[in-house]
Amino acid sequence: MIQGTTSGAGKSLIVTALCRILSNLGYKVAPFKSQNMSSLLHVIDKSNRVIAKAQAIQAVASRVKPTPDMNPILLKPVGNYESRVYVKGNYFDTMSAQQYYSEFVLTKGFQIAIDSFKTLQKEHEVILLEGAGSPAEINIQEYDIANMLFANKVKAPVILVSDIERGGCFASILGTIMLLEPKHQKLIKGIIINKFLGDNKILSSAIQKIQNKTKKPVLGVVPKIEHAIPEEDSLDSNKKQRNRVKQLQLHRQDTESNERVKEKQKPRKDNLITRKKQFQTENNTYPSNAKTNIAPYQIFADQEILEDEIQKFANILESSINLEHILDKILK
């Protein structure tokens, strides 16, 4: 599992690149994010089922078709501390944060995510999990099914990614690890420093110090690069990057996605128990081989450019990290 010390640390892109690297090596790989909050949606196979665009792009990198199991719980913010909740691609309800945590995430959401993960395991050799935000948000740790709760449940080794561009990189690494429970600290098998500009030799003493303090190896320093791969939220993009994304014309897919899910976004008026029963009877399966008018795995406009961008970043990541250590010690 790839986790980050903060939102916008680069988890999604790191997972995307690792998916392509492992696919190039011949592994049957798939991405997975148990719970994602994003306004960028991707409609699967011309249906009304949606997942976050980030997981759809990771599926492209993995050379597999995206499925709802890759992002079983999707939260789309709608304002006023509320989000539309999609479960396995289907609209479920609009909930406040308090309602989501108290009535859904542990009572139902966690098991939904586990079931989706197990489904992916049946058809793939490696599942690349992506965390959400930071695992050290101590106010919601008991509900955080996107990070250490999930990693601990499925015994997934964790690589922690930290963004050095914004400053405070080493403090955030140390602070994140210190705020985790001991059993969760043990899951962290390495650290990646992301978005560095300059000669990384100047980091040598700091890296040595952080390794001594955390007892975790730093697996690489990844340079900051310009790319046109759409990021997950506003923290992850800037004007220059958004202009590059427009070159891919992926905004056309966003527009299509929003139109297709409109009818699924009206809150239901029945109570939560009734909703759960209706959900269980209506949505326990999905068409894994739905008909589509597009070529296999061709899921975005201008996908050839997207493929080039994914491979470019995969090449840079592969040359920047200790891939042999990851394959031998972490993905064993």
For residue 250, the model assigns a pLDDT of: 52
- Mean pLDDT across the chain, nearest whole number? 84
For residue 36, the model assigns a pLDDT of: 96
- 309: enclosing H helix or E strand: helix 303-320
142: pLDDT strictly greater than 90? yes
The model's confidence at residue 167, banded by pLDDT at 50, 70 and 90, is confident
Mean per-residue pLDDT for 238-249? 50
Interatomic CA distance for residues 78 and 88, integer angstroms: 19
295: pLDDT strictly greater than 50? no
For residue 149, the model assigns a pLDDT of: 97
Alpha carbons within 13 angstroms on the beta-carbon side of residue 253 total 27
For residue 213, the model assigns a pLDDT of: 97
**Single pTM value for the model:** 0.83
CATH fold group of domain 2-33+125-274+293-330 = Rossmann fold (3.40.50)
- What distance, in Å, lies between the first and last C-alpha atoms of the chain? 14
**Tokens 């990851």, residue?**
326
List of residues 6+ apart from 146 with CB closer than 8 A:
33, 34, 35, 36, 131, 132, 133
The domain segmentation of the chain, as residue ranges, is 2-33+125-274+293-330
For residue 282, the model assigns a pLDDT of: 40
